[in-house]
Amino acid sequence: MESVAVHRLRENTRTRYTAVVRLYLIPGLGKKRLAKLTAKDVRTWLDQLRTTCQCCARGIDTTRDQPQCCAVGTCCRKPLSPLMLAYVHSVLKSALEHAVREEGIPRNVRMGTPDPAASNP
């Protein structure tokens, strides 16, 4: 990320990409080797992001001074917005396209997955 994004992206865009990588890509797909990543892995991960309460998944409520939902046993059921889900998908697509260009992987497995903004939850 740093070797590519630092030269090609504006600082604000780079900051947002870094947040997406840290908050969603690494926790969701980071344990899978790129060469072993399949379109099914990506679809499953995107479906999970689409339906999982991010407050619970990321432990957001436990860091609040006054826990309101997940930490007190009442899930707020706040999944990612369709716009954020599409943005996460876009960052993944860009990263995989770069890996193909750099010959890190033979093909972009993300190409076999539909755009999450276009699908029904």
CATH number, domain at 63? 1.10.150.130
User: CA–CA separation, 82 vs 102, rounded Å?
Assistant: 30
Contact 94, 110 (CB under 8 A): no
User: CA–CA separation, 73 vs 43, rounded Å?
Assistant: 29
What's the total number of domains in the chain? Answer: 1
**Token code pair at residue 76:** 């707020």
Which pTM was predicted?
0.74
> pLDDT tens digits, residue range 23-79?
999 999 988 887 788 889 999 999 999 998 888 888 888 888 888 888 888 888 888
Please give the angle made by the CA atoms of 68, 45 and 17, to the nearest 5 degrees: 75
**Token code pair at residue 61:** 């409520």
Helix axes 82-101, 11-20, angle to 10 degrees: 100
Q: Tell me the average pLDDT across 100-120.
A: 61
User: CA–CA separation, 29 vs 41, rounded Å?
Assistant: 8
> How far does the chain reach from its first CA to its final CA, in angstroms?
30
**In which domain, by residue range, is 7 found?**
2-118
